[in-house]
Structure 1
């Protein structure tokens, strides 16, 4: 008669080496699953710790605009992509009006503005990474309006000048002593301002000399139909972060921005835009 114990060895028996491997496999599977959970949590934590940054853009060629595929393009966009690549951050671009850009910059999340003119009244409102190009303000009239005679700031008071609300050109005109109601015609964007100029509802347009050709083309007008009548002051277009951005984020972006100036990446990029200059 056979020994029942030998026919049916207990599960814990290791004499024949067949029960223990099953336990070992279960232990390994459990350990592997546990490691996967820990790794997933670590990746999620790393993703959560990565600084969140919104890049706020205007339709402002040649600095920023949508290309034929609807993707962000332009000089400032190229700089931002390279800077974020070096800082190992992923860009999140958003196009909006200047009013919306400034409103978001006053919020609690980190915001990068690739193109903003550095002014004394804005100095403490942003963290300034540095200048990216020179800006030359100009007042234009239509060539079809030789009756609009401007040779000095005082002459501007005789006419209405189209400006975009909140834009540096509006601020420049106000700094010259012009009245926002009497002398300026304020629009929410350049499309409206140009329509008013070419329909003779206003006589003059204040805009950056660099922006003017591309802006007119974008809205279906010919820059050759305009002529400059008065040069405004020279300023600098800069890149800035809002104050809600964390110091660690500012440090990473500042390091990348400075490196781009030192190693010639910024100069190489601006060379593709002949209408722009760093000096």
Structure 2
């Protein structure tokens, strides 16, 4: 009986070690999507980044290996590299079967921005077809304009969101479809006055942001990350707040600006 229990213990230890090893070998891909994930003075940070680092701390893992790439490349890598993860990724019906999911991180409101001096009015989604619109390749904004059946010749699909911000600023497009907090942050970073732009149409919530894992990542790894994230969201510490609330507050001033 002793040897049987000992064998079970050894097997459990081995499984735990293998799970920890699998977690440590994950490669995380992201983009500049502030305040959720972005690079600032060679430091990668943001709500989703800090959450991920805290998950690794709770799991006894080293800091995650994160690479900032153009969104289309990060999205491609997560589907084609077996130990890859992409974030922050809006979870939609179209993407559901492409990844394994851990989250949610936060809700994602998608809007159409215009220059105020253009006095553009968009009374309904069908009116969007009258304008030239910028979107980031494979971003949820591109999904939205596809859902609205806006013709390709009316869209400018770019690699980086700052390209779209500049195109809007210099009247090369009429509208820019993107998540509102990142759009405002990018405008500020590139010296644009947010007061010169306005939301002329809101798609509303496109879904929640998640960590999207390659389909080959072991389910035990997904469960471990999900359980750890759940505890960060629900467990109240001695300060009277959850770790999740503390991280949101860390970036709260930026979010309130938008």
Query: TM-score if structure 2 supplies the norm length?
Result: 0.82
- Aligned counterpart in structure 1 of residue 66 of structure 2, from 87, 93, 100: 93
Report the Cα offset of residue 96 of structure 1.
0.4
Separation in 1 of the partners of 2:141 and 2:19?
40
Aligned to 2:26: 53
Separation in 1 of the partners of 2:217 and 2:85?
9
Separation in 2 of the partners of 1:47 and 1:134?
33
- Aligned counterpart in structure 1 of residue 225 of structure 2, from 239, 246, 253: 253
Q: Is the 8 A contact 2:86 2:211 kept in 1?
A: yes
Matched, 1:84 2:69: no
Q: Runs ≥4 in structure 1, deviation > 3 angstroms? A: 46-49
Aligned to 1:265: 243
Deviations 1:173-224 (A, max 9, x none): 2111212x13211111112112221221111111112212101122232211
Matches within 5 A, 1:1-279: 50-51=21-22, 52-68=25-41, 70-90=42-62, 91-146=64-119, 148-179=120-151, 181-234=152-205, 235-263=207-235, 264-274=242-252
Q: Which runs of 5+ in 1 are unaligned?
A: 1-45
Deviations 1:84-113 (A, max 9, x none): 111222211111011111111122431222
Deviations 1:104-161 (A, max 9, x none): 1122431222311000011111111121111111111101212x33221122111101
Q: Which runs of 5+ in 2 are unaligned?
A: 1-16, 236-241
- SS of match in other structure, 1:224: helix
Separation in 2 of the partners of 1:78 and 1:49?
20
CA radius of gyration, larger in? 1
Separation in 2 of the partners of 1:47 and 1:202?
51
CA RMSD of aligned residues (A): 2.0
